[in-house]
Amino acid sequence: MNSKQAKQKFGIIGNSPGIERAIDVSLQVAPTDISILVVGESGTGKESIPKIIHQNSKRKHNPYIAVNCGAIPEGTIDSELFGHEKGSFTGAHDSRKGYFESANEGTIFLDEVGELPIASQARLLRVLENGEIIKVGSSIAQKINVRIIAATNVNLPEAVKKGKFREDLYYRLNTISINLPALRDRGDDINLLFRKFSADFADQYNTPPVRLTNDAVEVLKNYNWPGNIRQLRNFVAQLSVIEQERMIDSNKLQEQLPNIKNSSLVKYKDENKADLSEREILYKVLFDMKRDLTELKKITFDLIKKEGNTDIMQSINPTIFHEKDYTETPLEHQNEPKTIEVEESLSLFQQEKRLIEKSLTKHKGKRKDAAAELGISERTLYRKLKEFGL
């Protein structure tokens, strides 16, 4: 199988150098049993790489099992991965095979491997080093023959420095690293993907496909796409359903793209977003919100000031505008610029809680979708829900 055949079989759209490189490396390493680490932001399509590797390996007629490590509760993850013996914990009425035992002689794909607890990381290291698993509640090692492919959107070297990921496990997983580029770095692939999704939804909804003018294509390519391919697909679905006009120009596209004028969503030239920690990303979002709120208050104050009605200002929120900001000013000083003092509460705890509540409401309580929008894992979201008492 060559690169073109692989793209056709697994529905991969695009010709950018990063995508071609990822597929070529996948095909080269497929015949071996080397462990692979697939790296890339959430929504870049990392799940396609293990399928390419498995289908081009000597294990292709044996099981292929994909596991989302971030979606399994911490208390049950060892049982899910490695199995358990009868009576090993409350509710363990029977012995159970884990995913590793079920994938024996085949391939197991561990998505979001960076979310594994430290104790589970030690068990995984044993599999990589000795080809052995020990079920929960057992002391007997069991030999298995499984090829491991892992994926993460976490900066693992940084996680190693912080003690959240074992260094020895990182080096065992990272024998070969395959990097999937973010959508914003894929140039013309963005328009190719748009056209593919547009055609798919046109067939699904029995409507003409939405199309873009040349200037709209440029807007599409210059957008940051923080949710990558997943976000683009959902966006095309939205346009396909709600837009009456099938030809979309740049103005209409800008109206529909979320926060296109927000500087946090345009392309970064000097900042590698993948290197930001989860808390740093939250800080960035919160400070962007603070800046926008400050600008909005200033605009509101200026508009009211033009009307000369200080009573309205006072009734809107007496804590926002200090009295010294709108009391009468001597004529000789009326043209001097004023400094507006804004009282704000930016408790990180409150803002994180508000952000999570808003996202959960938007996605009707679906934690997976909310976590994807917030840029955190389901495990992290679950932990924060407990922390905030939500």
Please check whether residue 270 lies inside any domain of the structure.
no
Q: Please indicate, yes or no, whether residues 321 and 238 belong to a single structural domain of this protein.
A: no
Please check whether residue 225 lies inside any domain of the structure.
yes
* Residue 381 CA, distance from chain mean position: 12
Structure confidence at residue 230 (pLDDT): 92
Q: Please indicate, yes or no, whether residues 220 and 293 belong to a single structural domain of this protein.
A: no
CA atoms of 118 and 100, how far apart (whole Å): 18
Q: Please indicate, yes or no, whether residues 150 and 200 belong to a single structural domain of this protein.
A: no
CATH of the domain at 230: 1.10.8.60
Cα–Cα distance list, 348 to 287, 290, 351, 371, 378 (Å): 10, 11, 5, 18, 20
Structure confidence at residue 376 (pLDDT): 77
Residue 110's φ and ψ, nearest 5 degrees, are -100, 95
Please check whether residue 155 lies inside any domain of the structure.
yes
CA atoms of 100 and 97, how far apart (whole Å): 8
Among 156, 181, 206, where does a domain finish? Answer: 181
Of all residues in the chain, the percent with pLDDT exceeding 90 is 44
Structure confidence at residue 206 (pLDDT): 87
Q: Please indicate, yes or no, whether residues 17 and 148 belong to a single structural domain of this protein.
A: yes
Q: Please indicate, yes or no, whether residues 143 and 193 belong to a single structural domain of this protein.
A: no
Please check whether residue 31 lies inside any domain of the structure.
yes
Q: Please indicate, yes or no, whether residues 196 and 236 belong to a single structural domain of this protein.
A: yes
Which segments of the chain have a pLDDT < 50? 261-277, 312-346
Please check whether residue 208 lies inside any domain of the structure.
yes
Q: Please indicate, yes or no, whether residues 37 and 169 belong to a single structural domain of this protein.
A: yes
Structure confidence at residue 265 (pLDDT): 42
CATH of the domain at 168: 3.40.50.300
CA dihedral 269, 272, 273, 279 (to 10 degrees): -130
> Which residues fall within 8 angstroms of residue 364, CB to CB, at 6 or more apart?
none
Identify the helix (H) or strand (E) that includes residue 4. helix 3-10
Tell me the Ramachandran region of residue 100: left when phi exceeds 0, alpha when psi lies from -120 to 50, beta otherwise.
Answer: alpha
CA atoms of 224 and 220, how far apart (whole Å): 9
Please check whether residue 161 lies inside any domain of the structure.
yes
Structure confidence at residue 340 (pLDDT): 39
Question: CA end-to-end span of the chain, whole Å?
Answer: 50
Q: Please indicate, yes or no, whether residues 292 and 327 belong to a single structural domain of this protein.
A: yes
Among 181, 215, 231, where does a domain finish? Answer: 181
Residue 282 β-bridge partners: none
Please check whether residue 110 lies inside any domain of the structure.
yes
Structure confidence at residue 231 (pLDDT): 92
Domain assignment of residue 333, given as a range: 275-388
Residue 43's φ and ψ, nearest 5 degrees, are 90, 10
CA atoms of 278 and 155, how far apart (whole Å): 10
Residue 148 β-bridge partners: 108
Q: Please indicate, yes or no, whether residues 39 and 171 belong to a single structural domain of this protein.
A: yes
Please check whether residue 37 lies inside any domain of the structure.
yes
Residue 301 β-bridge partners: none
Whether 79 and 96 have beta carbons less than 8 Å apart is answered as: yes
Q: Please indicate, yes or no, whether residues 173 and 192 belong to a single structural domain of this protein.
A: no
Q: Please indicate, yes or no, whether residues 232 and 130 belong to a single structural domain of this protein.
A: no
CA dihedral 71, 76, 81, 82 (to 10 degrees): 170
Structure confidence at residue 362 (pLDDT): 83
Structure confidence at residue 244 (pLDDT): 81
Among 240, 265, 290, where does a domain finish? Answer: 265
Whether 18 and 181 have beta carbons less than 8 Å apart is answered as: yes
Residue 179 β-bridge partners: 39
CA atoms of 179 and 176, how far apart (whole Å): 10
Nearest to 285 by CA among 338, 200, 346: 346
Give how many domains the chain has, as a whole number.
3
Structure confidence at residue 156 (pLDDT): 92
Q: Please indicate, yes or no, whether residues 192 and 175 belong to a single structural domain of this protein.
A: no
pTM: 0.65
Structure confidence at residue 211 (pLDDT): 93
Residue 147's φ and ψ, nearest 5 degrees, are -90, 130
